Amino acid sequence: MPDWFFYMMPWLTILLFVTAVGACIGSLTNVLVYRIPLGLDVVKPTSRCPKCNHKLSWRENIPIFGWIILRGKCRFCKAKISPEYPIVETVVAVLFGGIYALWYIVPDDAIFGLGRIAPEWAANGPALTWPAMVVLLVLVGSMVSMTIIDARTSTIPLVLTWVPALVALVLHTGHAIWFQSKYGSPAMMPAGLAGIWAVPNAHMKWFTAPGEVWTIATGGIGGWRFIGIGLGGCFGLILSNLFLKFGWLTRSFADFEEWYESNHQSESESESEQSTEKPAEENAENLEQAKTEQAESSIEDWLMYPHARREMIRELAFLCMPAVFGLAGGWLMVQMFGQWTTDPNSGLSFAPDNAPLWLVVLGGVLMGYLIAGGVVWAVRIGGSLAFGKEAMGLGDVHMMAAVGACLGWIDPTIAFFLAAFVGVAYAIVAQVFSGKLSRAMPYGPFLAVATMIMILGKPVVEMGLGRIFGMTGPLNLP
């Protein structure tokens, strides 16, 4: 055996384990995609055949291989099992394994000078950065579920956006606390990590994270204003939600159901009369088609709602407290922890004291959540006010906010604008394959695909940004 094989054995073993975990998460994704839209419990009952209600054994539940062993049919009633199940499991397994490989195994210059997608100091291995990897994998697994559900029902279950955001808050911040307690001051950093703290002299490879101190975009060491805005903005967000709960603020589109019933009552009565005249077999055969048509029409129903501009005013009222408390928090942090120094070139300027690492990372998570969600929300409000129709769904806001909490504020902001090009590509494909992909698609899947492009193809995206902004090589900070 060559020496490189023995060297790679530990890495390949971990890679296989991560891929297997991805297949299991893909199996969970299938459960979530089926049960959440129906309002069913995702834990009980255990997996079973939807036709004969046969409880699946552990052998039949093995991701990917279980479907192959059963040959795509129930062992008892011989009902067909959709190939979507092993396809989803395989996709998630490949994503998990691919992300791990691109973080830790693939060299920096593997393909045309491009390769590893992790921050430079993550090259030291999983021992120091595994919590950031877990956050990323949780985000990817959640986005697969959100994408499939949104494509089918034009809705994004909020619980699927809360889970990655909470995981990011706990793991990113907890990781930073452990990291700082273990290594202390920057002068005591281990040999492989030199330079990640020296923000003024940092030599970072990629455009989107110049001089960063963590695996996500933060305000940098000493960014008290950045930290204060994040803390204050999230505090204001909590207050606004409490105001909604107690009825002091009105939830937007609260009367949509009433409007929908009043405008579709005659249509539903007519459809009900027609369905009773059809035999049960025909109704059963058309059930899947009816679900598809209902999902397609749901987008049109929201676009037909006549009071979109009024509802945006309510959402602006909801956002007042996050904005006010965010600005107040930034000002307060500067006054409490900052000091003023004189710059010979520009006169009086502010130079903040260094903030502890865990607080810097916490600020990065919170500001990622606020900025990424805020960008989408701003487009939603602006577009709805301009055209009088709902421009984007609030589910899209929650999804990108979760992405921001996991990745920091820069990557999801780029992904949001990249999603427009993904949508154009989909429209072209839909035109070519008219009749197969011709139905309207919600924007959530485009956002998810753009986010995956940022995660997996970050070097390529950043190379393009570098050329746009006139930078052809690594970014050298002064």
Say what the pLDDT of residue 106 is.
81
Tens-place pLDDT, residues 390-449: 888 899 999 999 999 999 998 999 999 999 999 999 888 877 776 555 556 789 999 999
Q: What does the alpha-carbon distance between residue 469 and residue 342 come to, in Å, rounded to a whole number?
A: 31
pLDDT in tens, 136-194: 999 999 999 999 999 988 899 999 999 999 999 999 999 989 888 887 644 345 444 44
Beta bridge partners of 342: 348
Angstrom distance (rounded) from CA 438 to CA 190: 56
Q: What is the pLDDT of residue 199?
A: 36
Instruction: Give the pLDDT score at 229.
Output: 95
Q: What is the CA angle 31-32-38, rounded to 5?
A: 100
Averages of pLDDT over each 10 residues, the chain, 478 residues:
67 91 94 90 79 76 87 81 91 95 78 65 71 94 96 92 97 90 56 41 40 72 84 97 93 82 60 45 43 55 77 94 96 78 51 73 94 96 90 92 94 93 88 64 92 87 70 40
